[in-house]
Structure 1
Amino acid sequence: MTSVDRVVGPGVDGLGTAPVGERSPVGERSLLDVLLHPESLAIIGASDNPVSLGGRPLGLLAAAGYAGRVYPVNPTRATVQGHPAYPSVRELPEPVEVAMVMVKAKLVPAVLRDCAAAGVRVAIVLSSGFGEGMGHGAELRDEIAAIVPTTSMRILGPNCEGLASLPASAPLTFSPVLDAARTGQVVLPGRVAVLSHSGGLGFAVAQWGSRAGIGFNYLISTGNEGDLDVLELADRLLVETDTTLAVLVLEGVAEPERLAALARQARQLGKRLLVARLGRSDAGARGSLAHTRHDATSLDGLTALCATEGITQAGGERELIDVLQALDKVPTLGGRRVGILATSGGAGVWLADACRDAGLEVPELSPELRQRLAGFMPEYGSPVNPVDLTAQFIAAGSFAPAIEALAGSGEVDAVVLATSLASAGRLEQDREALAELLRRDLPPLVVYTYTHPAESCVRILEGLGLAWYTSSTGVARGLAAVAPTPATPVGTRTRRPE
């Protein structure tokens, strides 16, 4: 591999300034490398209106500092948003690697033929109208399908929302999630990839996850999947990139056995899959078919497949983020025993109930450990599990000694600190002590703040790399996702990839 620091050229001014990361040598670039690190890009159907769907990509690319060459294509305008426009992809100054297609559905087949003739490697079809909704345009979908085997060009979409490659500073999309100037929030960088049939939900996962301190590298929507599909792209991501966790938001798969093969591939690589299924109800299945032409009933055996192949499954938006945070930040547990340290007796009780409901254990602690923990609390505290440190710790006192005693006891496989982090600076005095504990080979620590956390506390938690939750059920289902099943031998745990 060679490192290319910058790619600059004669495209749109201001889009050639950002590093694009590790790259393959010239002439050896894979399909995925081209798709995620395009050196040249055409936007076919680019609009002069910067807030329209066809106009947003230019602004997003410029704001992200995309380093490649960008060519707006619009046959009715000489310029687009102040930049030279070209009447056709065939008339560009050079063959481009990726083309974003944003024209009316009836024009797409001809545009794709032009793209193939012009040497485009991958066409991303964001246009809709290919049999979804009330079924109009199904013949256009068939026409696109007929183009695929006649050319080496690959097609993402149609009816997708594009993609975002954070390592390449390349938002090839119109998604508002990537518009930090308007949302006030950036998508955090990391090693989680999201692949989704639904573009809106796929990008939303990154927005929700970023609020929980989860970092992402690639966000890809596949829409109707006329060619490239979620499973092929996920396989390539796990093999070819530093992605450690792939989130799949699925409305259906034509060949469920390929999902099983993907799960086996992930296990061999020491990586993880998290699947969210859409269309579990009759009404939802109708919606999936209308949305992206996927048959949601093809996933009726998903739960059994996940259990067999070790795939983690999430049933809703909140559960998805709760589980994703644990998979991203918490090492695999050595067992199912949870130790709870609480500054609110009620919060500890609630958490204990949630752990039980999730199939986790909250064991009673040994007399020796209870006696040691009693030294960290007033007489009216309780050293049983859940351990009630009492509210005095909210105002003062260090959490670290009690955490160290419980985590180092050998009696639990994870420790949850349940406390209020509503006060700014509450964790300041414990920052270094907690960091030292995290460097030791102790069971994982998770934080449950039963009040809305202050931003300063959130920054400390995220700086420490700790998973944190604002609900007892979130903690429980997160830990359950990284705990061994009852039939799995316990006693070993896997650290999250560095």
Structure 2
Amino acid sequence: MSHPSPGTEALTRPALRVVDGAGRTALERMLRPRGVALVGVSGRPGNPMARPLRYLREHGFAGGIHPVNPGHRELEGLPCHPSLAEVPGPVDLVLALVPAAAAAGVVREAGAVGAAGVVVFASGFAETGPAGARLQEELAAAGREAGVRVLGPNCQGLLHAPTGMVATFTAAADRQLLPAGGVAYVGQSGAVGGSILDLSAEMGLGLTAWASTGNQADLGLVEVASALLDDPDVRVLLLYVESVGDGGSYLRLARQARDAGKHLVVLRSGRSSAGRRAAVSHTGSMLGDDTAFVLASARYGVVLVDDVDELLAVAAMLSAMPRPEGRRVAVVTTSGGAGSLAADRCSDADLDLPELRTGTQDRLRPLIPAFGALANPVDVTAQLFTRGADAFGDVCRIVADDPGVDTVAVVLTMVVGPAGAALAEDLVATSARLAKPLMVAWLAGQDQTAEGRAVFRAAGIPVFSAVGDLARAAGLVAPPRPPAAPGVTLPRVPAPDPGRIRGLIGTPDGPGLLDAMGIARPASVVVRTPQEAVDAVAGLGSTAALKLNSGALAHKSDVGGVRLDVDATGAAEAFDELLAAARAHHVDRVDGVLVQAMVPAGTELVVAATGGRDGFPPVVTVGFGGITTELYADVASGLAPVSPEEAWAMLRRLRAWPLLAGFRGAPARDVRAVVDAVVRVGHAAAAAGPRLAEFEVNPLVVGLPGEGATAVDVLVRVTGGGDPVGE
């Protein structure tokens, strides 16, 4: 795991742009150096610190290669220099193959010879504790003072395949590099990065560039990734992220990829439940620490994957074939049973299997035996292969021509040996002529399909060994479903005065905060004696809810701190019961009792926001509320501020949406009022700034169309601890 320098962001630090006379940035010079110096390179063949020199030579790096080690006169047939200062010719990149204590000195020497960057491989820095952290700070300071960028420490280096610049010690570089395939990788873990380099080569995916950022004393993942997105040879960028850290930098990177028309695929580890344990509100306890990260990724079209296999499969698909325009899949298979399995797994991945159009089925009918299937899945049967080696490809081309199909998924069974290899060649040729992606799952042993799989691999087409893996990958690369069109005119909601919102956040004035947001609430008053309670209820002219008023309580019902439908005759008794409940549960700082007008029955929702974490915007959440919020966990989220259209889409994602729209003869609810409330909460969260930890309206009682929505309870928690503030 990487350990960024204390006080720095996990993904990036402020950039120090070292530019040479030709206008090349430091990162460009590091990836395409005129010369590489290897300081401390080992002369022992079995030593990992001897590998970078061997790799540079074996992979054909054409620039200068300069071993530096006073203990040797020659290494790998090259003159070995006693010091970096004595290296002839230009040096853009220095590899520090030295112990941790010597790394800062190498960085200073690199600056003296005009190098752009230094790769520090050694461990023993911040990952080891306070002493190592101080050593890492010294390393970063040396880079700043010398005008040199530092990659690492505790990293495995970088490579640039087109130039043969392989500056790493991972054994994955023992493989022959494949021709660059427009895919680049940056990751915070050296070991995972080595595995990705090795596995990508095995599956036939050529990486244009590869980098391991390690502890990120200087160069962070986002800065390296941003530079690679600027490379015209890179179309797909893969990231392995352990710690997001600076959400703002991640958002800018995702936006850069989207605006450049490039694909960003991210594998993230280190997800934690710590944030959920610390949450006070109902909704806060249901949101994962990565909710904002997932929402931000979705906003900019980032593909999130769960493991290395998915990362590489998605990369291969995006680099070798067009991205699908929708989520409609046609399955072409040699087995009806396999087709049925594929249909089930596609449904699990939220993919559609539309029936092929009549014209498409008419074109298929002469090719497929009568006992096959034409609709979707298309079962060609084994008899198809008697019609010629290219018959299967003909079927796939016809299916791809159907305007109702976005992706063709081929599921093969026991087509093995030479027949399988011939079929693979036919499908590779077919895929090259299609304007739609063609995916393959092969349900047969690797030993019997090795030749055919090699054909697919050489073409950069991933072959899945399970239909579920194919379906999940297809679902990942397909665009999300557009939300259904609203059935009502959505409200236009003005943003509140941000100064007023910030002034009320963290104060005991929950009702005032709701008023500033423009969210309706019932009439209420705080009373401190039984007689005041009687007078307050009588003044409302209706029954009331009585609630303990204490900043120490997040959820009053948990301690019996709520009485409902209380009239004036029972108000004094209810007041005494509430104070007795507070004493029984040792509730501190009770400031009387809140008397609140009862709200007519309606559908209860929760609308909430959690403050922005790690530079991400706040997260706004809506779901079915009251005491059942956590029981049903039926919530949908978006990044603040949310538009009315986004709020509508959030509501449509709820499983219980039919209860709002009208279910089995029950009346619909005032959806426009809910949209209005969600947008207002989003505006307030965005205006509140970093002080807001959590804000929750629960319940928001929604009436019939035109009756509006009323906030019955509100809870606010600010950063820096302290009691929640509620009404």
TM-score range (shorter-chain normalised) is 0.7 to 0.9
Q: Which of 401, 404, 416 pairs up with 2:397?
A: 404
**CA distance change for structure 1 residues 70 and 282 in 2, over 3 Å: closer, same or farther?**
farther
Contact 2:393/2:426 (CA < 8 Å) preserved in 1?
no
Unaligned 5+ residue runs, structure 1? 1-23, 284-296, 490-498
Task: Confirm whether residue 44 of structure 1 aligns to residue 35 of structure 2.
Answer: no
Cα deviation for residue 481 of structure 1 reads 2.4
Contact 2:152/2:213 (CA < 8 Å) preserved in 1?
yes
Match of 2:91, SS state, is coil
Cα deviation for residue 320 of structure 1 reads 1.5
Write out aligned runs for 1:350-369 (5 A).
350-366=341-357, 369=360
C-alpha distance in 1 between matches for 2:151 and 2:48: 18
Cα deviation for residue 119 of structure 1 reads 2.1
C-alpha distance in 1 between matches for 2:75 and 2:358: 75
Task: Confirm whether residue 266 of structure 1 aligns to residue 261 of structure 2.
Answer: no
Question: What is aligned with 2:138?
Answer: 143
**CA distance change for structure 1 residues 429 and 79 in 2, over 3 Å: closer, same or farther?**
closer
Q: Which of 244, 254, 278 pairs up with 2:269?
A: 278
C-alpha distance in 2 between matches for 1:166 and 1:412: 36
**CA distance change for structure 1 residues 226 and 362 in 2, over 3 Å: closer, same or farther?**
same
C-alpha distance in 1 between matches for 2:427 and 2:209: 34
Cα deviation for residue 94 of structure 1 reads 4.1
Cα deviation for residue 135 of structure 1 reads 5.4
Cα deviation for residue 467 of structure 1 reads 4.4
The code of the aligned residue for 1:251 comes to E
Q: Which of 154, 157, 162 pairs up with 2:157?
A: 162
Cα deviation for residue 254 of structure 1 reads 2.9
Cα deviation for residue 465 of structure 1 reads 5.3
Contact 1:249/1:275 (CA < 8 Å) preserved in 2?
yes
C-alpha distance in 2 between matches for 1:95 and 1:233: 23
C-alpha distance in 1 between matches for 2:384 and 2:404: 23
Write out aligned runs for 1:54-203 (5 A).
54-81=49-76, 83-94=78-89, 96-133=91-128, 136-180=131-175, 186-203=177-194
Cα deviation for residue 169 of structure 1 reads 0.5
**Mean alpha-carbon deviation: is it higher for 452-461 or for 320-329?**
452-461
Cα deviation for residue 379 of structure 1 reads 3.2
Contact 1:326/1:479 (CA < 8 Å) preserved in 2?
no
Cα deviation for residue 106 of structure 1 reads 1.1
Cα deviation for residue 466 of structure 1 reads 4.0
What is the RMSD of the two structures over their aligned residues, measured on CA atoms?
2.7
Task: Confirm whether residue 416 of structure 1 aligns to residue 409 of structure 2.
Answer: yes
C-alpha distance in 1 between matches for 2:65 and 2:428: 47
C-alpha distance in 1 between matches for 2:44 and 2:382: 56
Cα deviation for residue 85 of structure 1 reads 2.3
Cα deviation for residue 347 of structure 1 reads 1.6
Task: Indicate the percent of aligned positions where both proteins have the same amino acid.
Answer: 33
Unaligned 5+ residue runs, structure 2? 1-18, 275-287, 485-727
Write out aligned runs for 1:169-318 (5 A).
169-180=164-175, 186-281=177-272, 301-318=292-309
Cα deviation for residue 395 of structure 1 reads 6.9
C-alpha distance in 1 between matches for 2:427 and 2:191: 41
Question: What is aligned with 1:439?
Answer: 433
Contact 2:423/2:452 (CA < 8 Å) preserved in 1?
no
Q: Which of 443, 453, 473 pairs up with 2:468?
A: 473
CA deviation string 1:16-68 (max 9, x = no partner)? xxxxxxxx997333323211111111111111112211111111111111111
Cα deviation for residue 98 of structure 1 reads 1.0
Contact 2:236/2:265 (CA < 8 Å) preserved in 1?
yes
Cα deviation for residue 384 of structure 1 reads 3.1
Contact 1:256/1:298 (CA < 8 Å) preserved in 2?
no
The code of the aligned residue for 2:416 comes to A
**CA distance change for structure 1 residues 488 and 217 in 2, over 3 Å: closer, same or farther?**
farther
Contact 1:99/1:115 (CA < 8 Å) preserved in 2?
yes
CA deviation string 1:261-303 (max 9, x = no partner)? 11111111111101111212469xxxxxxxxxxxxx9856321
Q: Which of 337, 351, 365 pairs up with 1:346?
A: 337
C-alpha distance in 2 between matches for 1:114 and 1:433: 55
**Mean alpha-carbon deviation: is it higher for 203-212 or for 46-55?**
203-212
Q: Which of 371, 378, 383 pairs up with 1:392?
A: 383
**Mean alpha-carbon deviation: is it higher for 92-101 or for 265-274?**
92-101
Contact 2:385/2:392 (CA < 8 Å) preserved in 1?
no
**CA distance change for structure 1 residues 29 and 372 in 2, over 3 Å: closer, same or farther?**
closer
**CA distance change for structure 1 residues 466 and 252 in 2, over 3 Å: closer, same or farther?**
same
**Mean alpha-carbon deviation: is it higher for 66-75 or for 255-264?**
66-75
CA deviation string 1:434-459 (max 9, x = no partner)? 63674354x33222211246343234
Match of 1:90, SS state, is helix
Cα deviation for residue 82 of structure 1 reads 5.0
Question: What is aligned with 1:292?
Answer: none
**CA distance change for structure 1 residues 77 and 466 in 2, over 3 Å: closer, same or farther?**
closer
**Mean alpha-carbon deviation: is it higher for 316-325 or for 448-457?**
448-457
Match of 1:55, SS state, is helix
Cα deviation for residue 88 of structure 1 reads 2.0
Larger Rg: 2
**Mean alpha-carbon deviation: is it higher for 197-206 or for 76-85?**
76-85
Cα deviation for residue 81 of structure 1 reads 4.6
Cα deviation for residue 372 of structure 1 reads 4.5
TM-score (norm 1): 0.83
Contact 2:238/2:265 (CA < 8 Å) preserved in 1?
yes
Contact 2:330/2:399 (CA < 8 Å) preserved in 1?
yes
The code of the aligned residue for 2:301 comes to G
Question: What is aligned with 1:426?
Answer: 420
Question: What is aligned with 1:21?
Answer: none
Aligned length: 448
CA deviation string 1:379-434 (max 9, x = no partner)? 33222321222233467642023223322232322111211453235353784686
Cα deviation for residue 86 of structure 1 reads 2.3
Cα deviation for residue 352 of structure 1 reads 1.2
Match of 2:233, SS state, is coil
CA deviation string 1:178-226 (max 9, x = no partner)? 112xxxx544421100001112212322322233332210001110011
Contact 1:252/1:299 (CA < 8 Å) preserved in 2?
no
Contact 1:330/1:482 (CA < 8 Å) preserved in 2?
no
C-alpha distance in 2 between matches for 1:427 and 1:488: 43
Contact 1:126/1:157 (CA < 8 Å) preserved in 2?
yes
C-alpha distance in 1 between matches for 2:423 and 2:217: 55
**Mean alpha-carbon deviation: is it higher for 427-436 or for 187-196?**
427-436
**CA distance change for structure 1 residues 115 and 385 in 2, over 3 Å: closer, same or farther?**
same
C-alpha distance in 2 between matches for 1:96 and 1:339: 54
Match of 2:163, SS state, is coil
C-alpha distance in 1 between matches for 2:374 and 2:164: 51
**CA distance change for structure 1 residues 46 and 269 in 2, over 3 Å: closer, same or farther?**
same
Contact 2:68/2:81 (CA < 8 Å) preserved in 1?
yes
Q: Which of 23, 34, 38 pairs up with 2:29?
A: 34
TM-score (norm 2): 0.58
Contact 1:354/1:473 (CA < 8 Å) preserved in 2?
yes
C-alpha distance in 2 between matches for 1:71 and 1:298: 47
